[in-house]
Amino acid sequence: MYHPVGEKILAQEAHLIKTNDYDPSNLKRIVLEEKVDAIVLRGPARITREVIEEADSVKAISGAGRGLDNIDVEAATEKGIAVLNCPSVNAVSVAEHAFLLLLAAAKKMLLCDNAVRQGNYDLRSNLRPNEITGKVLGLIGTGAIGSCLAAMAIGGFKMKVRAYDPFVDPSEAEAQGIELYPDLESLLPVCDFISLHVPLTPETENLISEKEFKLMKPTAIIVNTARGGVIDEVALTEALRENRIAGAGLDVFCDEPDLQCDLPLFNTENVVFSPHIGGITEEATYRMAEAVATNMLAFLNGHYPESICNAEEIGIKV
C-alpha cells in the first residue's frame, strides 16, 4: 500500500500478510500456505498467471491505481477472481505532473538549472524557451486524468485542447471544451503539445512510434505519464536526437524500475525524466490506499463496488 491508512482499514477486519519479495515463487508460496482470500498490490509487484494458477483461495485482486498491466486479468478472469482498480483517485496528481513535465520541457528547465549550478549565467543570452499559453494541447485519452489536464490547460493557460479517444461520447468531450479528432493521423500534425493518457494493452503498445513521430510538428513536445510501453522508446530517441520533435517529458518507462540508463535516450538533452511519481503525492496516496482497502473489504463482505474491472466476465452485477 502507498499509505498506512490502507493497512489500518484492512486490519480492522482482516489478517494482513505483507511481503516485499515479489518473486513469483514467494508469492505462490504465500497464497498456497496462507490460503489468502484477497491480494492487494502496488508496483513493481506483479501478479502473473503463474501465481494466479496456484491461487485457489483468492477471491479478489486489487491494484493501487487505474492501470492493470501488473495483473494478468485474463488469467484471473478464467479462475473467476475479481480484479479491482481505483481509476480516478490520483487523477489530479497525475494531471498536475503531466503539466509539470510539459512546462519543464517547454521552458527548458533542466538546461537552466544546470547552467546556474555551473555558473553559466550567460545561457540566458542564447536559450529561447517557449510559451504554452494559447497553444494546442493534444490528448490521447480523455478519461479522468486527461479530462483533468484539459480543464487545467483551458482554464489556466487558455490552451486549445484537441483529442483522440474512440471510447468517449463526443457530446461529453464538447461539454469539456475538447474537440475530438477521428484518428491520430489527423490529430498529431495540429498539436504543439501531446499528452498520453491510455492504459497499456496489446492495442496501445507502441501506439506512438516512428510513423506517429513523423506526423508531429518539429516544435512538438510529447509527455507520457501513462505507461512506458505506449511509446516506442527507440523511435522516440531517434526523433529527439534528429530534432524531428522538440522535446519530451517522461514519468514512465518500458523497463522500469530497472532502467538501462546507458541507453541514448537517457543522454538526450531535450528530455525531462521523473521516476513514475506522478500519482504518488501525499494526497493521492491517502485517497488511493483508502479506496483500495474500502473497496476490498466491501467485496469480501458481499457488497460489490463499481471498480470491479471484470465483473461482467465473472458474472457479478455491480
- Catalytic machinery residues: 227, 256, 276
Cα separation of 28 and 122, whole Å? Answer: 59
* C-alpha R_g of the chain: 21
Helices (H) and strands (E) in the chain, counts: 12, 10
Helices assigned H by DSSP within 125-270: 144-157, 170-175, 184-187, 210-215, 233-241
Helices 109-117/91-106 angle, 10° precision: 60
Reading the block at residue 121, the C-alpha cell is: 549565467
Cα separation of 218 and 54, whole Å? Answer: 51
| In contact, 147 and 176? CB cutoff 8 Å | yes
What angle (nearest 5°) sits at the alpha carbon of residue 197, between those of residues 297 and 61?
20
Please tell me the number of Cα atoms within 13 Å of 212 on its side-chain side.
Answer: 22
